[in-house]
Amino acid sequence: MSTPVQEPKVYLPPQELVKSAHISGLEAYQRLVAEAQQDYTGYWARLAREFVTWQTPFTQVLNERDAPFFKWFEDGRLNVSYNCLDVNVERGLGDKTAIIFETDDGQVTRVTYRELLARTCQMANALRSRGIQKGDRVVIYMPMSVEGVVAMQACARIGATHSVVFGGFSAQSLRDRIQDAGAVAVITADEQLRGGKQLPLKAIVDEALSLGGCDTIRDVVVYRRTGGNVGFNAPRDKWLHELLDGQPDRCEPAWVEAEHPLFLLYTSGSTGKPKGVQHSSAGYLLHAALTTKWTFDLKPDDVFWCTADIGWVTGHTYIAYGPLANGGTQVMFEGVPTYPDAGRFWKMIQNHRVTIFYTAPTAIRSLIKAAEANPDVHPKRYDLTSLRILGSVGEPINPAAWEWYHANVGGGRCPIVDTFWQTETGGHMITPLPGATPLVPGSCTLPFPGIVADVVDETGKDVPWGQGGILVVKRPWPAMIRTIWGDPERYKKSYYPADFQGKYYLAGDGAIRDAKTGYFTITGRIDDVLNVSGHRMGTMEIESALVSHTELVAEAAVVGRPDDTTGEAICAFVVLKRPRPTGEEAKQIAKALRDWVGKEIGPIAKPKDIRFGDNLPKTRSGKIMRRLLRSIARGEAITQDTSTLENPAILEQLSQTN
């Protein structure tokens, strides 16, 4: 007798939504997929005319002559900020709330489209008054704030390319990004307030600039958030409110070419140096607007809330650009989900009558734990009936967390869109559409219409459904990365490798398609990139930070292991320049190294486990055998072949926890 195979649970879209959604029913989805299949460039051109307001309409759709450096809508001109703000005011939405901003300590302010446009124009004029112009790079190191979005929009308005650096990155990381981008200005705040704690952003900027190599910086513009004490270095430093004083609230947008770089965003790759992912203006805006509307079924009365920070790509596409390009109303939050208690998200959904909620699995998992420990912060204690759609992003969502989110937050009625995408892709790539796609927990389901995603083997050959392989995208799409800033060779090597004859975009993730439905499940990164709480970290980056402690560290290897809350946890194996420590001493040194990494990269990169060895497991040719370290980090018995190992005894030693 064969054991019955358990069929995965399927959740059909609610009938009501199938009727009313922008993309209503699976047939509507399939029609769009077929349209794109029959006339790929025609499909994207149609949407680019529908979703983008052009100053000069494009006549060229896709230029593949210089592949993989693709160009979209090349001869068109537009302004992204004009599309996000002016267009809405002109359509009569001037008095509509664009942003409901809630501070860490619970104060709420509302900003209309008219006000947001005026503030963006003033900021744009202020930046122009400092000589910042089209093509200049501006680093934004800001807390979650209306000013943060205004700064991004203001850069877009004058054609300056912004590069937002997450407020949790260290002075060193900030310096590296300023230097790589060759930025002319930094926009920052005195302090950032999260969970009742102040983080001195301006002081970190000062430290970054004092590390040297930032000679391109002419201005540091400081938004006064907390009123905390800051050092001022005249004439370089300026208060934002003083610069804004007297600036007109109108500003003629800079009409830029479709391919003009809207922003750079640094992300981790498999080598030590973060890459500056360069995005375009038109293609990016199109996908931001389109995916916000279709994936979340955004309607005029919705209250949308994406909990990401503007320092990550999710905060770019689904806070700073996508919702605004649709004239939507969104909540923006300064603080953290656990302050003053772990009911904060639920309380905010209740208070603001949020209808679409988009967050990360790591947040859900930590709030599950908190709700299990304390019934007062359980979502059931709050009125969450306003919700109609839920979203997930950043890492795979495990079926148990999915079911909890669906039942307890969504009250069993709200579809969950599990959106797979990357910094490099600009917006959603594989995702359900809530009024069309039957859901299977743990699967991001099917490609967004017009995205040609598939699974192949190492040689680029399609693998049959039901077999795991490498996730690729077979055709260029409008919002894709254009290049790595200053390193086109690395762009080619990382994303269009010779293994696939340079034909396919390589996402860096593994995937498997369901044998029957073709649904995608992402199986995790296939390179040396870890995903900790939805944050991308290169193992090499952390290793270089560790070995840069030249006094203590001789050698280091970093691997990931699964973690219940953060998805993956960072484990470092370290060889010191002194005898292997044990007991109390080992604990102290581990703490010192954790702090060191926190200072070098940022707190998110601190290893959870640090183990010391006299050596690392190496092949006779001197290569560190990371697969063995991965097994040790997971506490698994070593079953792999160790015959090429130079020093087998080391495995025993590293397996002991100290």
* Contact positions vs ligand 6R9 (CB under 6 A): 267, 312-314, 393-396, 418-423, 444, 507-509, 522, 525, 531, 534, 536
C-alpha span between 302 and 314 (Å, rounded): 19
Annotated binding site: 194-197, 314, 394-396, 418-423, 509, 525, 533, 536, 547, 549, 553
What's the min distance (Å) between Cβ of 536 and ligand 6R9?
4
Position 122, amino acid = Q
Sign of CA dihedral 621, 624, 627, 632: positive
Dihedral, 433, 45, 478, 519 alpha carbons, nearest 10:
30
Residue 185 pairs in a beta bridge with: 138, 219
C-alpha span between 523 and 470 (Å, rounded): 9
Beta strand 553-563 with 567-576 is antiparallel
C-alpha span between 406 and 414 (Å, rounded): 7
What's the min distance (Å) between Cβ of 511 and ligand 6R9?
9
What's the min distance (Å) between Cβ of 583 and ligand 6R9?
37
What is the chain's alpha carbon radius of gyration, rounded to the nearest angstrom?
25
Residue carrying the six token digits 């112009």: 133
What's the min distance (Å) between Cβ of 210 and ligand 6R9?
29
Which residue in the shown chain puts its C-beta closest to ligand 6R9? 423
Contact 44/283 with Cβ under 8 angstroms? Answer: no
| Alpha helix (H) residue ranges in 456-560 | 488-495, 539-547
The phi, psi pair for 544, rounded to 5°, reads -65, -35
Angle at 533 between CA 530 and CA 537, to 5 degrees: 30
Nearer Cβ to ligand 6R9, position 122 or 566? 566
Tokens of 65: 């002559």
Nearer Cβ to ligand 6R9, position 125 or 291? 291
What's the min distance (Å) between Cβ of 525 and ligand 6R9?
5
Instruction: Identify the DSSP state of 407.
Output: I
What's the min distance (Å) between Cβ of 360 and ligand 6R9?
8
What's the min distance (Å) between Cβ of 504 and ligand 6R9?
15
Beta strand 192-194 with 197-199 is antiparallel
What percent of the residues of the chain are helix, what percent strand, and what percent coil, each to the nearest 5? 35, 25, 45
Nearer Cβ to ligand 6R9, position 240 or 511? 511
Q: Which of 329, 292, 285 is nearest to 84 (CA)?
A: 285
What's the min distance (Å) between Cβ of 532 and ligand 6R9?
11
